[in-house]
Amino acid sequence: MKKETFKFHNGVTIPSIGFGTWQIPNEEAYDSVNMALKNGYTHIDTALAYQNEENVGKAIREFDIAREDVFITSKLPAERKGYQEALDAFNETITNLGVDYLDLYLIHAPWPWNEIGKDCTQGNIDSWKAMEKLYNDGKIRAIGVSNFSVSDLQAILDNCDIVPMANQIPFYIGKDQKDLLEFCEKHDIVVEAYSPLATGQILDSSELKEIADKYGATTAQLAIRYCLDKDTLPLPKSTHEERIIQNRQLDFEISKDDLKTLDKMEDVRK
């Protein structure tokens, strides 16, 4: 790949493809992360809410890789808002993972998952202030958010000292986040693309397969490459080694014409 890393506004670099572990049960997480590390991934993404941090951490600790050579992301649960709540959740996470620090810590969502859209502005601000403290104390190398809209981000910008370094959002072919991407770019916030394969729902698209065939690529490889070509950082996940390997084999660039075609697609999920 031409672009091996993204750089946050504080100078910290992050590998340009992460291995996502959402929906991977704890009992499968050890083998999956081990396969990812074995096949060149050095960026692992988890969350307290995924309930797999223990085996994600165990796989990293037991693999022959120095701690500083693997980038670990985890997340503050969406329903836990507040200063002390954030500090407590962070301590749970590093205990689960068995590490001394995180490379990136995110607020998982601006609202609890069972109350999507609820106004939790003050809770997010208080949580962010706790994350700023952890960052300033050297416990986290970078801090950010996930699933935050422009207005959610603006509330942080208006009330806090540190601009978020990342916003992890659902981003894939047919999911237009143009305004949010432009806002993040303006404020030097790296956009991470979770579910770059739309949880597998775009893999059977005949339109995408036709374009992928031109590059000798799979539909999944096209979808992940698309995220990179849109200057977002994809987080593909799989529990199958063959796909784990393929998801990093992206030595092609989508032509400008094909990129325009992909941009215009609205919903290719099946």
Domains in the chain, please, with CATH?
12-264 (3.20.20.100)
- Check residue 1 and give its pLDDT: 57
**What secondary structure does DSSP assign to 88-104, as a single string?**
HHHHHHHHHHT-S-BSE
Burial code of 74-91, b = ≥16 C-beta within 10 A, e = fewer?
bbbbbbbbbbebbbebbe
What confidence score (pLDDT) does residue 269 get? 61
Q: Classify 175 in phi/psi space as left (phi over 0), alpha (psi -120 to 50) or beta.
A: beta
pLDDT of the chain along its 270 residues, tens only?
Answer: 568 999 999 999 999 999 999 999 999 999 999 999 999 999 999 999 999 999 999 999 999 999 999 999 999 999 999 999 999 999 999 999 999 999 999 999 999 999 999 999 999 999 999 999 999 999 999 999 999 999 999 999 999 999 999 999 999 999 989 999 999 999 999 999 999 998 888 899 999 999 999 999 999 999 999 999 999 999 999 999 999 999 999 999 999 999 999 999 877 665
Residues taking part in catalysis = 50
* pLDDT at res. 231: 96
DSSP letter at 78 equals: T
One-letter amino acid at 216 equals G
Start-to-end C-alpha separation, the chain: 29
d(CA 93, CA 103): 12
Predicted local distance difference test score (pLDDT) of residue 168: 98
CA 107 to chain centre: 12
Which H helix or E strand runs over 133? helix 121-136
φ/ψ bin of 146: left (φ > 0), alpha (ψ from -120 to 50), beta (otherwise): beta
pLDDT of 268: 66
